[in-house]
Structure 1
Amino acid sequence: MTADYRFDPLQFPMPAGTGLFPRRDIDLYAELSSRVGVGVHGFILVDLGRKAWNLRKKYWQSGGGGTWAAFREAVHQCYPHLPVEEKLEQDGHEFDSLYELAVYRCLKPMLASTVKLDVHPHLRGCAFQEEASADFKVSSAQSGKSCCIEVVGLFDQTFIAYSSAQKERKDKTLRRLHCYSANHRPILVFKDMVCDPEQVSAALRQALVSVEEDGLRVAA
């Protein structure tokens, strides 16, 4: 049998209390993920400030996917509630993006007992697209009012297309938003808003207040 001289990390484990990644970077990632509400990916780090951008360059842009996967594993070891890979399923729903999942997690605890949340509900009476659906819809059992929420995960509030993917999707996004009638305009949550707890909360609160009769029943 041929001897194997390759390094075996199981035979020679790392010294106790040390790791390949600085603890300050791991703690920063955990802080950023707590702010957004999901385990942030490289594309989300763009909207989280200079420190987040440096984290992105160090681990997401360098060394291919292996470096990022190893970093996420190190984060998981220190913060077990942050998975190595954030799944897009929760509560029986499958979301289209981490931005949408983050909005869902922010919205749920804000709901009053009289307000119902629908995920990906069908849009009735849409003249442009029969199969159109919203990202979220909140409805009040007391007032009978409803309001839809659209998560615009590819664009920030400037709605400028920077990447080729954005350029391809811009017209499709506009058509989607114009599916709504003038009397039922949705609340928009852009990707940079998802990264700002105050802005995303304010947008979601506007949706909730709009369906309540007196605007006083929205959960704090």
Structure 2
Amino acid sequence: MTQDFRFDPVRFALPEGHSLFPIRDLDCYATLAARVGVCPHGFMLADLGPDAWTLRKTYWAPRNDIWRAFRSAVQQRHPHLPAWEDLTQNGIKFASLYELAVYRRLLALLPGDVILKVHPRLKDCFCDPKAEGDFCLTSQHTGKKSFIEVVGAFDQSFSAHSVLQQERRPETLRRLHRYPADERPVLIFKDMVCDPELRDAALRQALAIVRT
């Protein structure tokens, strides 16, 4: 048999704890994940500041193989972070990482006397009897409700920076206008999801509506 002189990654394995990627980048990603409560994808990295933008430019699209390898390296160094985020949690399928991030934060903030309902039916929506919202909070004491809508396609400026955003803008507006005047939802835009202070301020407003 002809001898094989090619590199054998099994024979010449990296030392334990070493990676092809700089440790500072793996730790930076883990810090960003802790900040938003999910493992951010490339689109979300654009809203997380200059360090996140550097990670995005270095490892994300269009070089998907590099992105997968990077995420795998993050998971090896930080085992509590999944190599890929599952949009289904507690039997609920979420539409985006932004919505999932808000859900996880809501669970952490939710008082014992407030009930959280995911994808509630909007009963008073005359234009769409099957309409659903993102989240509804209901107080067991006051009976009051407040709704939360995650606007994951836009930042607070509601500017359309891409063709996809331009296409989704009318549908997003239609979705927001389905609510009755006395049940206007608290809005959480994608840049707010990436800003813990703004995100929590919006969620606390939604909680205050039902508890006062």
TM-score normalised to structure 1 length:
0.92
Change (3 A) 1:140 1:15: same
Match of 2:10 in 1: 10
Which residue number corresponds to residue 86 of structure 1? 85
1:128 maps to what in 2?
A: 127
- The equivalent residue for 1:98 is 97
Per the alignment, in what secondary structure is the counterpart of residue 118 of structure 1?
Answer: strand
Q: 1:182 to 1:204 in 2, by over 3 A?
A: same
Count, aligned residues: 212
Whole-angstrom distance in 2 between the partners of 1:78 and 1:55: 17
Amino acid at match of 1:102: A
2:26/2:74 contact within 8 Å kept: yes
Question: What letter matches 1:54 in structure 2?
Answer: T
176-185 or 125-134, larger mean C-alpha shift: 125-134
Q: How far off its partner does 1:3 sit?
A: 6.7
Instruction: Say if 2:53 is the partner of 1:56.
Output: no
The yes-or-no answer on 1:38 pairing with 2:23 is no
Contiguous gaps of at least 5 residues in structure 2 = none
Q: Matched residues in 1 for 2:5 and 2:99: separation?
A: 48
Q: In the alignment, is the contact (CA less than 8 A) between 2:72 and 2:83 conserved in 1?
A: yes
Structure 1 pair 89–3 and aligned structure 2 pair: CA distance change class (3 A): farther
**Matched residue SS, 1:205:** helix
Q: Cα distance, 1:10 vs. partner?
A: 1.9
Question: For structure 1, which runs of at least 5 residues remain unmatched after alignment?
Answer: 214-220
Task: Please state how far the C-alpha of 1:168 moved relative to its aligned partner.
Answer: 1.0
How far does residue 51 in structure 1 lie from its aligned partner after superposition?
A: 1.0
Residue number in structure 2 paired with 1:176:
175
Q: What secondary structure, in the 3-state scheme, does the structure 1 residue paired with 2:57 have? A: helix
Structure 2: how far apart are the matches of 1:109 and 1:42?
25
Shift of 1:148: 0.6
Q: Which runs of 4+ in 1 moved over 6 A?
A: none
Q: Secondary structure of 2:203's match?
A: helix
Over residues 132-151 of structure 1, what are the superposed CA-to-partner deviations in whole Å (9 max), with x where a residue is unaligned? 10100000011010011000
Once the two structures are TM-superposed, the CA of residue 16 in structure 1 deviates from its matched residue by: 3.9
**Is the deviation greater in 51-60 or in 125-134?**
125-134
Q: Secondary structure at the match of 1:170?
A: helix
Q: CA deviation at 1:90?
A: 1.1
CA distance in 1, matches of 2:57, 2:74: 17
How much does 1:196 deviate?
0.4
Aligned-partner Cα distance in 2 for 1:3–1:143: 79
The whole-number CA distance in structure 2 between the counterparts of 1:24 and 1:135 is 36
Secondary structure in 1 matching 2:19: coil
Matches of residues 54-203 of structure 1 in structure 2 within 5 Å?
Answer: 54-61=54-61, 64-203=63-202
Q: TM-score with structure 2 length normalisation?
A: 0.96
Distance 2:79 2:17 in 1: 16
Distance 1:128 1:12, change over 3 A: same
1:99 Cα deviation after fit: 0.4
